[in-house]
Amino acid sequence: FHLAGIRLAPKEKLEIPVLFMPAEMKIYKAVVVIRVMRENGENWPYEVTGESNTDLNRNVIVAENGETQGILWIYPINGTPEAPQQKSVVIRCQARQRLEQRVELLLIGVMPGAADLPDAGSSATVDTEELSSTPEVTDGSSATLEFLYELQYQSDESRYQLESLVGTELVEKEWDTESRIVTLIFNVVFAPSKPMRSEATLVIQCTAGGLWKFPLVFIATEPEVDDVINIEAVGLNKESIVGFKLTSQTR
């Protein structure tokens, strides 16, 4: 769009509306350029010289006499399409147990570049031995799609509760070039120490463009009973005492 002839008083604010409505899951880039000139058409007496600030030199319009005729503000805009939020994945484990669960997540509408596409109908997978400690994952071939993933928590309290109990690792990646669906297979580890219910979001971003969010619900059920304590009465109205030890697993 193009806006022209907007008159601004001194220290007045101008809001620039920016609408983003992506049609595909790919990176979109644009630039918003704002040009200001005096209403009476006169120049500013400021002259741009070789000793002037480099950024200022780049953003001013210089008249023939060397004075400043106009000023430019340039704002790059990067648009990242985000897929509709998916259904929650529930991960349930009994307290004081350890669960490893494979979770398959479908990324619909992935748009790799032409150089990244393998032959139609083929698939590419990730060798688990090639996974690095960084969240960037490739399959090592000429047909490469890279993904970044992060587990985001709803609050600091949720992070404190879950961070040491949950682990996620991308172990496999498959794609179907005809349907443009990428399947990411994660190994999720959940080792709760007590009954709880908490939520987090697995955010996945493709370097070719696109953002997907998958809600995860972590539920820890009641643990097994440790032991049964039997107390035999020594007589009516007389106390019977049984002692047992408890060991704390934390400080």
- Name the residue with tokens 């400021």: 46
| pLDDT at residue 231, rounded to an integer | 92
**Mean pLDDT rounded to a whole number for the chain:** 81
250 vs 90, residue with greater confidence: 90
pLDDT band at residue 103 under the 50/70/90 scheme? very high
Q: If pLDDT is split at 50, 70 and 90, which confidence band does 76 have?
A: very high
Q: Looking at the chain, which residues constitute the CATH 2.60.40.2310 domain(s)?
A: 89-111+146-221
The percent of residues above 70 in pLDDT, for the chain, comes to 80
Q: Is the pLDDT of residue 118 over 60?
A: no
pTM of the model: 0.68
Judge whether residue 102 has pLDDT over 90.
Answer: yes
CATH number of the domain located at residue range(s) 89-111+146-221 in this protein: 2.60.40.2310
pLDDT at 141: 32
Average pLDDT over residues 69-89: 89
Taking a C-beta distance cutoff of 8 angstroms, is the pair 152, 168 a contact?
no
- CB neighbour burial string for 44-71, b if at least 16 within 10 angstroms, e if fewer: eeeebeeeeeeeeeeebeeeeeeebbee
Q: What is the pLDDT of residues 14-48, one digit of tens each?
A: 888 889 999 888 889 999 888 888 888 788 777 66
Per-residue model confidence (pLDDT) at position 221: 97
